[in-house]
Structure 1
Amino acid sequence: MGSDVPARDELVRRAAELAPLLRKHANWAEDNRRLHDEVVEGLEDAGIFRLRAPKRFGGFEADTGTLVEVAAELGRGDGAAAWVASVYWIPTWMTCMFPDAVQEEVFATPDVRVCGTLSPSAMATPADGGIVVNGKWGFISGAHHSHWQEIIAVYAAPDSEPYPVVALVPMSDLLVVDDWHASGLRGTGSVSTVAKDVFVPAERVLPLPQVLQGQSASAENAKSPAYRTPLLPVASASSVGTVLGLGRAAKEVFLERLPHRKITYTGYESQREAPLTHHQVAEAANKLDEAEFHAHRLSSTVDRKGAEGAEWKLVERARARGDLGSVVRLVKESVDVLATASGGSSVYRDVPVQRIARDVQAVHLHALMHPNTNAELYGRVLCGLEADTAYI
């Protein structure tokens, strides 16, 4: 099954046209702690779930530069929708590391949605023809609308040292625990899932170190630039667009409200006349520009090295994490400035900047996204030390 692959500009245009729909349902998503079905349908119709799927299954095999700009446009409409889309892209890419027969099973579902995790919070034991998994995973964004979950478990066999594995499991095999009561990214439906004696056939299991290195078990995908890069640079580049979109949204909604606001208890009848406002807007805009640099350097590096099929140096992998952290830090700083400048009326629910600020804070606290964690790793490698984590 082939597919005509839309150009980047076309995919970005489709994402931008979804903004009114995403904004329309953003408060519903917050109330119900998941995306509205109409939003999921809109994302599907625009081809958003196909971006990282192989062309032979009707996917687009889009590069990460496209992911950045598509997610940024989605993030301008609703950060939760953008986050779920970008989270789907990562396990979808991981699915492309599996043998071709497994991919045929997963991608048999049109516009298949694969949620997942990178945390090995379950155990796996050997069974005839595969493994049996027991455990629980948290923060599974988009689980309510997923067909499959990519899981991580520690495989413990009597004749070997325990090691982490990646497996693909139909959502029907898992219990979904509706425990997502959060202050930010509320609409992502990032619930927990549970496996109770779930059998996974051996062909749907891979060693996690192999996937972290981008070592594919797929003959069909071996020559595609999209699938020959280590996992963490791919995951980093897949995630930053949502953050950029939240920053752009904060700037836009602030400037939209600006002409109609005064600064209470001052002589300024219009907030835009105040020199303080000029400094705030310039500071926020400059930080957003800096974040754009790091996001595009990250995606350009991933795409260039994928096209070349070149080996990644340790410092390049650490810098990818560093760029991710820099985007998150700079966008949060930009949004914080604008949220502070938005005044007391911004606490009302119909003023989007309050939701944007909460969503950015939630991203900022995410283990993979946290600026401090990423900066420390990058600095450690720059100082000539080995990385102290496999997630690089």
Structure 2
Amino acid sequence: MSITAAPPRNELVERVTRLQPLLRAHALWTEENRRLHPESIEALADAGVFRMRVPARYGGLESDAATMVAVGAAVGQGESSTAWNVGVWFTCTWMACMFADEVQDEVFATPDVRVCGVLSPTAVAEPRNGGYVVNGSWHFVSGALHSQWQVIVAMAPAPDGVQQMPVLAMVPMADLEIQDDWRTAGLRGTGSVTTVANDVFVPAARVLPVPLVLQEQYASQLNAASPVFRAPLMPVGCASFVGSAVGIARSAMDNFLERLPGRKITYTDYESQRHAPLTHLQLAQASLLIDEADFHARRIADLLDGKDASGDTWTIEERVRTRASTGRAFQLVKSAVDILNTASGGSSVFSTVPMQRIERDVQTMNLHALMHPNTTAEVYGRVLCDLAPNTPFI
């Protein structure tokens, strides 16, 4: 396969920015059908989004974190479910690069391949004939309806043969069943269905012990020289999602300002909402909150790219601060969207007005376990108090 030179960051961001009208045009369809519109998928592929976290030897771009955050923000400014799934595909495509090179040959044989996954070990893997037989299910699998592979997590016997340990495995979507159970208040368009494994055989080469993954002991030899693929899993995951949140907040601001001209404040003598001091305060507060979220997103990207370039070891404090900064960014975005939603008036409750959907989507994002603002802040506070983090996911 030929190697394609990565376009400059600004060019890639501009490509995706030009897709925003298309993503917005399909937003209502996406929500009502609980999946991304096929034209949105095709457009993202054409822009190179699905190659950003793919090794160059497969025609990938090996994009850095700053580019990933900027592109995620550009997608988020178009449509939030699309942005969330792009964050999942950024993360899980990168995770595929941890596996043995022969496994990557399988995965990346598909152009613009999409890999979904979750980190919950809600299945059992039993050793058998050079591999494992997996049974179980995984919930909240965003992007499953549009992916070719899933990174699954299951419990398998540890080397001592007595205890159990979680393992990652790469499984073709064709080997899994899908339960169409994604009916939710927010992020409806992500199609985050349940996937099920019934006696699915996974060759041993497609399996990695989670404890080794969390220590950056990856199986790929050809990726070992690339800084992009040496990074820790959790900071990569944080950078994969945080830009999308900032873009979604900007989308809320865009929608508010688009509807502002000519809007009255009912039961007052304000013929235009833009003349009300309250509106001035609301817009200023929301704008500053979005700027603060953008600061956290950029700081995460800068730290990840800086560590990649220097090869310096990540400290515990840097790891937990990265998760805390992600939670804080999502919290700030929610606060900004709450202000704009409150200022949008009764007419904004119609399904054709994006604000109500953005509000529900942002609320749903803030409930995700890995970026929940309260959880991530507590872990950071523990470390600041010189206590060990109470999670391996840092």
Q: TM-score, normalised by structure 2?
A: 0.98
How far apart in 2 are the matches of 1:243 and 1:298? Answer: 13
Find the partner of 2:352 among 338, 342, 350: 350
Q: Deviations over 1:304-353 (max 9, x none)?
A: 10111111100000000011011000000000000000000100112111
Aligned length: 392
Residue 44 in 1 paired to residue 36 in 2? no
**Aligned residue in 1 for 2:339:** 337
Aligned pairs for 1:21-100 within 5 A: 21-100=22-101
Task: Please give the secondary structure, in 2, of the residue aligned with 1:134.
Answer: strand
Could you tell me how far 1:126 is from its partner in structure 2? 0.7
Counterpart of 1:142?
Answer: 143
Residue in 1 aligned with 2:107? Answer: 106
Tell me, in whole angstroms, the C-alpha distance in 2 between the residues paired with 1:369 and 1:347.
Answer: 27
Asked whether the equivalents of residues 243 and 294 of structure 2 are also in contact (C-alpha less than 8 Å), the reply is no
1:278-297 map, 5 Å = 278-297=280-299
- Contact kept, 8 Å, 1:213 with 1:229, in 2: the verdict is no
Q: Do 2:227 and 2:311's aligned partners in 1 also have CA atoms closer than 8 Å?
A: yes
Distance 1:360 1:172 in 2: 31
The code of the aligned residue for 1:329 comes to Q
Deviations 1:133-170 (A, max 9, x none): 11100010110111000000010368241100000000
Q: Percent identity?
A: 59
Q: Distance in 2 between matches of 1:242 and 1:183?
A: 19
Which secondary structure state, in structure 2, belongs to the residue aligned with residue 290 of structure 1?
A: helix
Post-superposition, which runs of at least 4 consecutive aligned residues in structure 1 deviate over 3 A? none
When the two chains are superposed, the root-mean-square deviation of aligned CA atoms in Å is: 1.0
- Name the SS for the 2:390 alignment partner: coil
* Partner secondary structure for residue 260 of structure 2: helix
Please show how residues 192-271 of structure 1 align to structure 2 within 5 Å.
192-271=194-273
Equivalent residue of 1:365, what SS?
coil
Superposition deviation, residue 376 in structure 1: 0.5
Distance 1:189 1:266 in 2: 42
Q: Give the unaligned 5+ runs of structure 2.
A: none
**Alpha-carbon distance in structure 1 between the residues aligned to 2:202 and 2:61:** 28
1:277 corresponds to 2:279? yes
* Corresponding residue of 2:120: 119
For residue 228 of structure 1, report the CA deviation from its aligned partner: 1.1
Amino acid at match of 2:372: H
Q: Which deviations, in whole Å up to 9, do the C-alpha atoms of 1:269-314 show, x marking residues without a partner? A: 1101001111111000111111111110011101110111111100
Partner of residue 363, structure 2? 361
Cα separation, 1, equivalents of 2:351 and 2:263 = 17
Distance 2:215 2:190 in 1: 28
1:212 CA drift (Å): 2.2
The match for 1:184 is: 186
Contact 2:262 2:271 in 1 (8 A): no
